[in-house]
Amino acid sequence: MSDDRDGRLIARQSVCADGDRLVLAGELTRTRVPAISRELRRVPLASLRVVDLSRVTRLDSAGIGMLEGLRDGLFGKPLELRDPTPHVAEMLELFAGEPVEPAPEERTRVTVRDILETIRYVAGILMDAFILSGEIFYWSVRNVVFPSGHRKGEVTEQIIVTGLNAVPIVATLSFIIGVILALQAAVQLERFGGGPFLADLMGLAMVREMGPLLTAIIITGRSGSAIASEIGTMRVTDELDALRAMGIRPVEYVIAPKMIAFTIVTPLLSILSAAVGLLGGVLVSTTFVGQPAQSFIDRALGILGVPDAAFLMLKGLLFGWAIMMTSCYCGYQVTGGAVEVGRATTQAVVSSIFAIVLLNVIFSLWYVL
């Protein structure tokens, strides 16, 4: 508070209009320029032509910036800078330059051309993503046949990282979700004596929807983001180019092992998730509904057929692939620095979840038809 008042006082003393001369006095340094600039806005500039610098004692870059503003007409009209002391003249010579045109701002008005550009841009993205997916599939299949394209043991390592290490979190979350779902459903079903139907409901919900969905979301968060940031970082640090320069295809060496691991792991994790979710149902059913575990499981499995089991795995697999493609694509888009890696990672997670939901819609339609 008192600082500000001091500042104003100093500013009043430092700025003074005298005929066509604007007299600046004292230090024009970065601690004082803010107050002086504010003060300048109060001075009627209309009659001024010249800035008198003879009483300026000290000048730094902030002061020079302000003076350049005055000179270039930032406050309404250009003024001439005059009579600097030797020190000030030296500073001006060292740091000030000719008027610098700031780079023009990008246009913000939207035209038809912009819209067409956007459409072309989006189409380009889809095309690129499509091509990348094709490459990933091709090299992954080749890698299964000729496993020499990647480092020995890389697939196993990836299976451990994306699959095995995810087991505890997938199991825990699925169990909790299973319990929550079952509780909600049980309360409703009990109201009209439909307790035994809990098994049917849980069976369908976990196997058809929640199992694959939960798995996909966890995989996105754990592995999708990791893949995007790994590839993005490798781009920033020239690692991908270094691989290419060594005659090694990044898609084959870096991505294919992950893709193979995903293909193995996601259906299995989906099964795990559905099974553990059902266990949550069993818990609720035995304690809350009073239906014994054996009959719950019999009923739940009874309503499911072989196609459901196949769907469960297929869904898990397709979700996994969608996450893989999206994350790789986002990682590949990084061109700049570390900030972009972060952005690509976020983008990978958001886009993957979007892709999963979209796929889920298609699957739901498929079930219904």
Partner 1 sequence: MREHSEVALRVRGLRSHYGDVEVLHEVDATFARGKITVVAGRSGCGKTTLLRNILRLIDPTSGTIELFGRDISELEEDELVNLRPRIGVLFQNGALLQSLTVGANISVPLEQHTRLPADVIERIVLRKLQLVELNGVEHFMPSELSGGMRKRAALARTLALDPEIVFFDEPSAGLDPVTAASLDRLIVELSRKLGITVIVVTHELTSIRHIADRMLFLDAGRAVFEGTVEEAEVCPVDSVRQFFRQGSSEPLGRRSPGGQPM
Footprint on this chain of partner 1 (rule: CB under 8 A): 68, 71, 81, 92-93, 96-98, 148-149, 151-152, 230, 233-234, 237-239, 241-249, 253
Beta bridge partners of 50: 21, 80
CA 150 – CA 342 distance, rounded (Å): 27
Smallest gap, in angstroms, from Cβ of residue 337 to partner 1?
Answer: 12
State which residue, 245 or 306, has the beta carbon closest to partner 1. 245
Token code pair at residue 59: 């000048």
State which residue, 161 or 167, has the beta carbon closest to partner 1. 161
Smallest gap, in angstroms, from Cβ of residue 245 to partner 1?
Answer: 5
Smallest gap, in angstroms, from Cβ of residue 148 to partner 1?
Answer: 8
CA 123 – CA 286 distance, rounded (Å): 53
**8 Å CB contact between 207 and 308:** yes
State which residue, 63 or 149, has the beta carbon closest to partner 1. 149
Contacts of 231 (CB under 8 A, 6+ apart): 240, 254, 255, 327, 328, 331, 332, 334
Smallest gap, in angstroms, from Cβ of residue 294 to partner 1?
Answer: 48
Smallest gap, in angstroms, from Cβ of residue 39 to partner 1?
Answer: 22
Smallest gap, in angstroms, from Cβ of residue 139 to partner 1?
Answer: 12
State which residue, 175 or 332, has the beta carbon closest to partner 1. 332
Supply φ then ψ for residue 303, to 5 degrees: -80, -20
Pairing of strands 21-28, 80-82: unpaired
State which residue, 240 or 271, has the beta carbon closest to partner 1. 240
State which residue, 212 or 250, has the beta carbon closest to partner 1. 250
| Residue (of 247, 245, 257) closest to 328 by Cα position | 257
Smallest gap, in angstroms, from Cβ of residue 241 to partner 1?
Answer: 5
Contacts of 200 (CB under 8 A, 6+ apart): 299, 300, 303
First to last CA, the chain: 71
DSSP state of 146: S
State which residue, 148 or 294, has the beta carbon closest to partner 1. 148
Smallest gap, in angstroms, from Cβ of residue 298 to partner 1?
Answer: 48
CA 324 – CA 228 distance, rounded (Å): 9
Q: Using H for helix, E for strand and C for coil, what is the string for 310-367?
A: HHHHHHHHHHHHHHHHHHHHHHHCCCCCHHHHHHHHHHHHHHHHHHHHHHHHHHHHHH
State which residue, 93 or 298, has the beta carbon closest to partner 1. 93
